[in-house]
Amino acid sequence: MNPVDLIIFGATGDLSARKLFPALFQLDAADLLPLDLRIAAVARQEQSIDTFQQDLRSKMAGYMRQEINEMMWERFAGRFSYLSADFSQPQAFGALQSWLDDARVSLFYLATPPSLFAKICEQLSHDGCLTGPCRIVLEKPIGESLDTSRDVNETLARFFDERDIYRIDHYLGKETVQNLLALRFANRFINSQWDQSCIDHVQITVAEKVGIEGRWAYYDGVGQLRDMVQNHLMQLLCLVAMEPPNSLEAESIRDEKVKIVKALRPIDATSVKDHVVRGQYSQGVIDGNTVPGYFDEDGCESTNSDTETFVAIKAHVDNWRWSGVPFYLRTGKRMPDKVTEIIIQYKALPHHIFGDGEAPEPNRLIIRLQPNEGIEMTMVSKRQSLKDKLSLQTHTLNFDFREDADIDRIPDAYERLFLDAINGDPSLFVGREEIEESWRWCDQLIAACQQCDVTVNAYQAGSWGPSKSELLIDRDGRGWHV
Ligand code: BG6
């Protein structure tokens, strides 16, 4: 395998200091980075490598839980070059071109605003930086609609083969999200009970305590649907619903995921009011602290925006396996807890043989993606007692991933994604068709919301969203797990 050079654009940005460099540092400290991996940090500012590194180190210290070990830092810092590039100049990447080596793989990582993707690709090509083997990694969002995502993908396709394009959805890098594949496809008893004959419904909740974190300008233009549903929730839904892939090759997994997105029943003007609830937080209390409402957030530029910060959706996958099984999706900001979980609610048994007592509770599988990563399964057993001959009780089998012997911490998603991109394994990255089909479904839903005036309902920060979200599931005789 050719040695790899990693070139990070947007190296002085927030994502780089918060996620990218800490992940690389952890990999290096664990001896998982190739010894000969070189890193070029590219950003607009003119500054020396020393200034860049000092600044980076102090920012990283604020984001990392562990202390930065001096020896590890020296080795890590030794991999770096800093290159400033001003896009307004004709030969912006001239210095980068001299730094690159055609005998090595160039792994370009675009941690920049998406508006720069096309410009960077064009400039790389223009300045002769794409002559050797190369791959490109992109952060979301890939467009803001089907049309705009196609534009981005078309531009990428002019310069890179699809197999060399690594589109990040950081949820796919989370250990527990990958565990979904193991849970489903490495356990016969789970796999054989995974369809409409046994499952009543599925819930996917991605709740965050944080608000929009100073990103008003970005967030107000997109909202929770585009920011979270089109990508993260869609990926989780696909991993729950997809058929077993033929192998763990990227193509195999992507093919199965695309089939699910295509099988999603469209939510249009005739169904949107019964299937979608939108909300926006007002001031409230989380963990005993008063937190501002959406319009009081830093950087707010409006007093009447109807951008949703919460959305609940009842979706259906119209295929043989999932016919009649609703998927309830829910995601919001400023919720009482940070919780990402998937609930598989099994059907009640067809016949009750245990006397006059209540029928046993149907089994439930809870896949906790974050925090407290693990799996819980409710099971029914006999109460140990001589008084009642056969009375039942529900137990919970709990598998806590953090107690797993090999793990002293759950690695950050970016660690897995960096390793895979460096090793040329795109299976945990998102393919073009998945993204475009997902936008197609979301665009229709968003258009239906506008057409039918699906209003945003206010909810207090620190609550689980507007009461209409409870109604969405209550009226089917079901309830949210949390
Ligand atoms: C990002 C969204 O993709 O995911 C943010 O843009 C959101 O709005 C974040 O807060 C959530 O990620 P995680 O890993 O904290 O669940």
Q: Which domains does the chain have, with CATH numbers?
A: 4-139 (3.40.50.720), 172-412+433-474 (3.30.360.10)
Tokens 């209003």 belong to which residue? 455
Task: State the pLDDT at residue 303.
Answer: 83
Cβ count near 299 (within 10 Å)? 12
| pLDDT score recorded for residue 352 | 85
**Strand residues in 305-460 grouped as ranges (E):** 310-316, 326-332, 339-346, 364-370, 374-382, 392-400, 456-460
Residue 370: which pLDDT band, with cuts at 50, 70 and 90? confident
- Mapped onto helix, strand or coil, the DSSP state of residue 349 is coil
* Residue closest to 131 by CA, chosen among 168, 166, 93: 93
Cα distances from 217 to residues 36, 288, 297, 298, in angstroms, run: 40, 28, 11, 10
> Do 291 and 285 meet the contact criterion of CB atoms below 8 Å apart?
yes
Q: Quick one: average pLDDT of 457-467?
A: 98
Over residues 263-278, the mean pLDDT reads 97
- Closest residue by Cα to atom 4, ligand 1, is 228
Output phi, psi for 76, to 5 deg. -60, -50
Rounded to an integer, what distance in angstroms lies between the CA atom of residue 432 and that of residue 250? 12
pLDDT at 407: 64
Distance 317 CA to ligand 1 centre (A): 25
Catalytic residues: 232
- Please state the atom number of ligand 1 nearest to the C-alpha of residue 232: 3
- 206 alpha carbon – ligand 1 mean position (Å): 9
Ligand 1 pocket test target in 63, 169, 228, 309 with most atoms within 8 Å of CB? 228
Q: Nearest 5°: phi and psi at 57?
A: -60, -45
Give the integer Cα–Cα distance in Å for 212 and 74: 36
Ligand 1: does its nearest atom lie under 6 Å from the Cβ of 208? yes
pLDDT of residue 65: 82
pLDDT value of position 113: 87
Residue 128 backbone dihedrals phi, psi, to 5 degrees? 75, 30
If one compares 440 and 350, the residue with the highest pLDDT of the two is: 440
Find the mean pLDDT for residues 290-305: 91
Residue 169 in contact with ligand 1 by CB distance below 6 A: no
pLDDT of amino acid 402: 80
Percent of the chain with pLDDT strictly greater than 90: 82
Mutation probe of ligand 1 site: the residue of 171, 174, 216, 227 with most atoms within 8 A of C-beta = 227
Q: Is 334 a residue whose pLDDT tops 90?
A: yes
Residue range 389-422, pLDDT digits in tens:
788 889 999 998 888 756 677 889 999 999 999 9
Question: Hey, how many other C-beta atoms are within 10 angstroms of the C-beta on 78?
Answer: 10
Does the pLDDT at position 301 exceed 70? Answer: yes
pLDDT reported for residue 406:
66
Angle, alpha carbons 378-382-386 (nearest 5°) = 150
Whether 327 shows a pLDDT value over 80: the answer reads: yes
Q: What tens digit of pLDDT does each residue of 150-177 get?
A: 999 999 999 999 999 999 999 999 988 9
Q: Ligand 1, closest atom to CA 140?
A: 3
Q: What span, in angstroms and rounded, lies between the C-alpha atoms of 131 and 128?
A: 6
Counting from 1 in the atom list of ligand 1, the atom nearest the Cα of 171 is: 14
Return the residue whose CA atom lies nearest to atom 14 of ligand 1. 171
Q: Half-sphere exposure of residue 239, counting CA atoms within 13 Å on the CB side?
A: 27
Residues 6+ apart with CB under 8 A from 71: none
In one-letter notation, the amino acid at residue 454 is V
Q: 327 CA distance to ligand 1 centroid (A)? A: 21
pLDDT at res. 385 = 83
For the Cβ of 227 lying below 6 angstroms from any atom of ligand 1, the answer is: yes
Mean pLDDT of all residues in the chain?
Answer: 93
Write out pLDDT tens, residues 4-37: 999 999 999 999 999 999 999 999 999 999 999 9
Q: What pLDDT shows up at residue 392?
A: 87
For 416-472, list the strands marked E by DSSP: 456-460
pLDDT digits (tens, 9 = 90+) for 52-80: 999 999 999 988 888 889 999 999 999 99
User: What pLDDT sits at residue 73?
Assistant: 94
Q: What percent of the chain has pLDDT over 70?
A: 99
Residue of the nearest CA to atom 15 in ligand 1?
208
For residue 147, how far is its CA from the centre of ligand 1 (angstroms)?
Answer: 24
